Each structure stands twice: as structure tokens, then as C-alpha cells.
A and B are shown apart, each in its own frame.
Chain A
Amino acid sequence: MTVNNRPGVLNRITGLFTKRHYNIESITVGHTEIDGVSRMTFVVNVDDERTAEQIIKQLNKQIDVLKVNDITDQAIVARELALVKVAAAPAIRQEIYTLIEPFRASIVDVSKDSLVIQVTGEPEKVEALIELLRPYGIKEVARTGTTAFTRGAQKAAANQKTAFII
């Protein structure tokens, strides 16, 4: 979704979700290539198509909303970044390095008894890595939420999901 980058616009959008009783799974906001225009990406869990349609219509009614796209069923590039602080005594660090390597995750901070791991990718991948790290003792997790684009070339619709990305 693209919006005018005006004061309070994020408040308008999240307020609308609250008013209409929709739950936001995640939300990301940032500038676009156009001056004064921001992109917001939401992941929203809804029960049916009708609710998704209603959300889009309500968003479209906002004066500062320029364009809304439901990209749930489209070919998309979706990325999330997570920082995971894991308890890691020096003895098991090597094990963790090996573990995160296939995820192309990296260590961004090391201290006496912990590591901070940064991972980027689709939410499922981030989820998988967090699960693998859990047995070591996760101290903190910070996730950005999903931001997404449609791909340049669209293939046939992917399988139906219940989470809607707008």
C-alpha cells in the first residue's frame, strides 16, 4: 500500500484497523522512490475473502491512501529481518556458526555469554531459524515484520493463504 507521507498517516491506518476490529500481524513502513510517498506493508489474518475485501475498501477511503494492493495470491518477494540474541558460551559458538550458515544469517554482536544473530528472508525462514536456535536459550528476539513487493513477472496464482498481505 502506498500513502502520502504526512503526519499522523500511520495513526490513521492503524486506527482504522482497530475501529473495524481487524488484527494486524505485522506492519512495516518506509520511504519509496517517490518523494512524499511511503510504502506500508501489512500482514493481516482474516477469516474470509469478504473481510479482506472490506479492509481494502476501507483503506481506499482514506484520503492519504494512494493505492492498495492485496498481494496474498500473487508472486511476491517478501522479506523480514530478525535479530536474535542467543545464550552462547564460547564452547558452543562453533556449533551455532555451523547452524546458521545455510540460512545465510550473520553474527552481528558477540559478548561473553551471548551472540546476536541477524537473519533476513521470508518469514517462514526466519521462523525456522528461531526454532533451531531455541534449544540454546533465546534471550531476546526483535523482528521487523514483513515488507513485500510483487515480482516483475507474475506466474499463475499461488496456493490460497489465510494471511493477507496488503
Chain B
Amino acid sequence: MAKMNVEEQAKTKTRMSGSMMLIEALKAEQVEVIFGYPGGAVLPLYDELYKAGVFHVLTRHEQGAIHAAEGYARISGKPGVVIATSGPGATNIVTGLTDAMMDSLPLVVFTGQVATSVIGSDAFQEADVVGITMPITKHNYQVRDISELPKIIKEAFHIATTGRPGPVLIDIPKDITTAEGEFDYDEEVCLPGYQPTTQPNHWQIRRLVEAVSQSKRPVILAGAGVLHADAANELRQYAEQQNIPVVHTLLGLGGFPADHPLFLGMAGMHGTYTANMALYECDLLINIGARFDDRVTGNLKYFAPKATVAHIDIDPAEIGKNVPTKIPIVSDAKAALQELIAQQGKPADNAAWLEQLNEWKRRFPLHYEPEAGTIKPQKLVEMIYELTNGEAIVTTDVGQHQMWAAQYYKFNRPHRWVTSGGLGTMGFGLPAAIGAQLADRSATVVSIVGDGGFQMTLQELSVIQELGLPIKIVIVNNQALGMVRQWQELFYEKRYSHSLIPNQPDFVKLAEAYGIPGLRAKTEAEAAEVLKQAFAMDGPVLLDFHVRADENVYPMVAPGKGLHEMVGVKACEELSR
């Protein structure tokens, strides 16, 4: 009899509701923070959250929750966890899911769903979330039976964080969250259709070593794959061992130290002259963890025309997708770099090439015309860089300010740069800063945003104030949708169709309404002063910088042009300073 009781007890111990299972699974996955927003379909789940005392950040819009989770994932390397309710809650995270999918960020997203019995009846707050999110998630599930729930959650974390990371969504009907079942989280994940290759093919590595030894003008194009694989040290070691210069994609910044003599800058549409010319003139292009995005390559017809292309990527579908590739290496970037370093191949005979690159670097640096009576946005970023010793976490929206931040904030460390690359999502920067700060509490976090994008997610100021996150919010205020305005100036004969916003609200008062101090500057001297004040403060602060409104981002590869056809490049002898 007594024995029976023990067994029965053990059995009742593992029997629990779907909501409790979810909490237990999150504990097992060591989730530190959940970003979310409650609603009807997730009430049972939020009831369990309440009882369990899990750290949950209530953002003021579901889009804020998912961007915060992205910022958290980008800095911590761990999956960001999001909860949203059914219908509008779920559709509000669609942009964030797509953003995470494009930029390979690991997320596990739970959405509520109407009860199984009414699915398909156009019930209140019902939306076909699995259907909607199918093309914008790495994988998604709808739980149909309580018995599947633990397995699905475990698979979701596995899929989100392994191989090429990405968002995974689990849609949970309300009746599943209250149904009871056995909780077993120990079973191994078994997915025959998902077996990512993480170790490089030895023969292809040998081919690359051989190609390097034969080359005269090699260059490495390093993307965010290096950061996902935590391979910044290996990248540096390999580049130094083989004496190969490095250019970064936008998302790769920080993977290689910006002050390193072998660093040529960011490549692409607003990259440096040297980085783009290196890609144009090279005879061997080693792509490590970048996906040859069109903003990096420019017109593919003129991309790396003289080069043998080697491509290291964890996602085989990226190899050969846009650029024909001679040496394909499907692998985790770290594993491939370790293997390459171990080979100790003969370095390239590239002294003349390095000399040429250094000459370009010296003659054609990034430049802007200083003007003390106003604030030059480039100067603003430089000032922030100096005040933070290049150590800050920088998050941005999308547009001109993003490009200036990428150009003028010199990242010497990995995992300091949080920006929306592939999808180009305005409104990303502010909520992403919340997640970034929660991932690294001791870091200085600067959120550089535009006056346009800021207003897409500004309600998250509430969260920053509530949690007392010491984020420095920098609004690069040009009273315009700057990048749209720039394109209209250059390609639409200055017809500024709906890109000028002369009557922006008073952002300082707005910050104060949210209980956050606000400061404003209109000249370079004022800017220096308010920045000093802001970085001396302990808590959050919003800074409204009225910058030169007609400033453009240069240099630039116009759409349809090749990387060698940059405009806005000036030799240093032509510059006024």
C-alpha cells in the first residue's frame, strides 16, 4: 500500500496544466526574462506566471516585446522569449518575427490561440497565426494535444538556437493551457529532417588554404555569422596569421576590431571606399558568415569580378544563392576558422595589395564637412564614441542615423552593435535597447534613433522608466525621414513626397511626461555639453539633437551600380580640414 502511494505521488508530481508545463520548460531552459503582453487567450498562462514569479517585462506594444527580445538575443547570444495573445497580439509581432528571421536571431515566441473547439470559426481574436507566420519563422507549431507540449517547447528551443539561428513560434490554444498532462522534459530532441552541418569539410578547407597561398589580393568579408559563432578571436587570429585584410557587413561590425591595421571598414552601399574597392579588386574573396545581401554587393554583375569566391556559412542555401562560389564550406564559423588556423597554410604574397589598400585608406577616408554652428550627425556619433570609449552597446533604427552610427562608431568588441539589417525595421532601436540592457546590466547602452523611427515605438519609454534602465536615448532629429529624403533629393529631383515632418512634437517634454529627463541641443557646443551631462547621469535620459537637416550619407553606391562606382568619395587633399 505504502509503495503504491509513493508511485502515485510521483505520478501526480509530473501531472500538470499546459500553463505550468510552459513555466517549467522555461525554467529548464534557464530563461531569465520574458517579454510579453497579456490578453484573453493567454490568461491561464499569465495566471501561472503570476504565481511562479518569473521575471516578465510588460512592454506597451507587442512589437516592443519582440524587438526587446531581439536586442536581448543579439547581446546575450541566448534565445529571446516572447508571449503574445491571440489575434491582434500575434499579428503585432509579425514585423519582429520577420526581422529576426532576416537577421538570424534566436527567438522562442508563444502566442495564445482561441480554444481548439472554435478554431476555424472566426472566433473573437482568432487569427491564423501559424499560416501567417509560416514564411517568417524558422519553424512554427500549433499545439493540438497537451501531450505534445513539452516535446514541442524543447524542439523549439533546439531549432531556434542551433544551426543558423532564427525565430520559432508556438501557437497554443487556450484549452491546451488549462488541460492537464504528463510533463516530461528529459527526452532527447529527435528531428531527422533537421541536422545542421557544423564541422567543415576537410577537403574544402585544404582547397581554401591552397587558394590563399596562391592569391595576391585576398580579402575577408566577415558577417554576423562570426558573431553568432562567437568566433571574433578566431577571426582575428586567422586574419593575422595569414595577413589578410578584413571588411565587415553592417551586421558583422565588432567581429573584427575597427582599430586593427588589417581592418578596411564596412562594405556596401554606404561602406568605405577602401572596403568596396577591396571587394572589387580582390582575387580571392573569403566570405565568413555573410549572405551577400544586395546592400553589400551592389549590382551583382560587377561584384568581385576578378575573384575566386570562398564562402563559409552554416546555411548551405546561402552558398551560391547570389554569388557563384568556387569553394563552398558549410560550417559553423568558429569550427571552420579553427581548422583554417590549425592548417598554418602559407600566407598570401600580398605586400603590394596591402600597400595599395593602405594608400586608399589614407587618401579616401570617411569624411564630412565640419560646421560648428549646427550639429553634424557624423560629429555627434564621433562625440558619443569618444565619451563611451568605444565600449557602449549601440542600438539603432533604420536610415541615415543608422548608417552614420555604423560608419563613425568604431566597434572594437563583438556583441556591442544592435541594428535591424535585413528587414530594415524602423522603430527597432528603442525596444531593442531594453533587451540589450537587460542582457548586460553593467553596459552603457546608447540608443541612436531617428525622429521618424522613434515615434513608431516610443511608448516603450514607459518600460525604460519603470525598470530604471540607464539607456541614453539619442534622437538624431532632422525633422525628416532622412534616408527617404536623401533618395528623393538624389533620384526624384528633390520632390520631397511625405518625407519632411517640420512639426515634430517636443521630445524633451514627451520624455518628461514619461518621467525621463530630456535635454536638447542645437549646436555642436550644446551637444558636447548635454552629452557630458547625460553620461554623468545614472538613469535613463532622452537627448533631442537638432542636426543639419539636409545632411546626406556618403559615400554611396547608387542602386543598380557596382561597388567600384561610389559617389561622394573625396581624396583627403581635397578636404577642407
Report A's interface with B, CB cutoff 8 A. Answer: 3-4, 7-8, 11-12, 15-16, 19, 50, 53-54, 57-58, 60-66
Contacts and interface: CB of A to CB of B under 8 A. Distances in A.
B6 interface: no
A66 B193 contact: yes
B130 interface: yes
Main SS class of interface, A: helix
5 tightest A-B CB contacts, nearest first: A57-B317, A63-B139, A66-B193, A63-B194, A19-B135
B316 A57 contact: yes
B22 to A, nearest CB: 21
Which one of A53, A58, A61 has the greatest number of beta carbons of chain B within 10 Å?
Answer: A61
B390 interface: no
B59 to A, nearest CB: 29
A61 B135 CA distance: 12
A4 B139 CA distance: 13
Interface residues of B, number: 19
B501 to A, nearest CB: 34
Interface in B126-146: 130-131, 134-135, 138-139, 142, 144
A7 B144 contact: yes
B321 A54 contact: yes
Contacts of B131: 8, 11
A105 B135 CA distance: 42
A163 to B, nearest CB: 21
A131 to B, nearest CB: 39
A166 to B, nearest CB: 15
B130 A8 contact: yes
Interface string B469-497: 00000000000000000000000000000
Contacts, number: 40
B134 A7 contact: no
Contact of B191 (A16, A19, A63): A63
A50 B315 CA distance: 16
A72 B272 CA distance: 45
Contacts of B422: none
A63 B169 CA distance: 13
Nearest to A67: B193
B134 A15 contact: yes
Nearest to A65: B193
A65 B320 CA distance: 21
A55 to B, nearest CB: 10
Contacts of B135: 15-16, 19
A60 B320 contact: no
Contact of A54 (B130, B134, B139, B317): B317
A50 B320 contact: yes
B247 interface: no
13 contacts: A3-B193, A7-B142, A8-B130, A8-B131, A8-B134, A57-B321, A58-B317, A60-B316, A60-B317, A61-B317, A63-B139, A63-B191, A65-B193
A15 B130 CA distance: 12
B119 to A, nearest CB: 11
Given A53-B320, A61-B317, 20 more contacts: A7-B144, A8-B130, A8-B134, A8-B142, A11-B131, A15-B134, A50-B320, A50-B324, A54-B317, A57-B317, A58-B317, A60-B316, A60-B317, A61-B315, A62-B193, A63-B139, A63-B191, A63-B194, A65-B193, A66-B193
B134 A66 contact: no
Nearest to A16: B135
A12 B144 contact: no
B219 interface: no
Contact of A63 (B159, B320, B324): B159
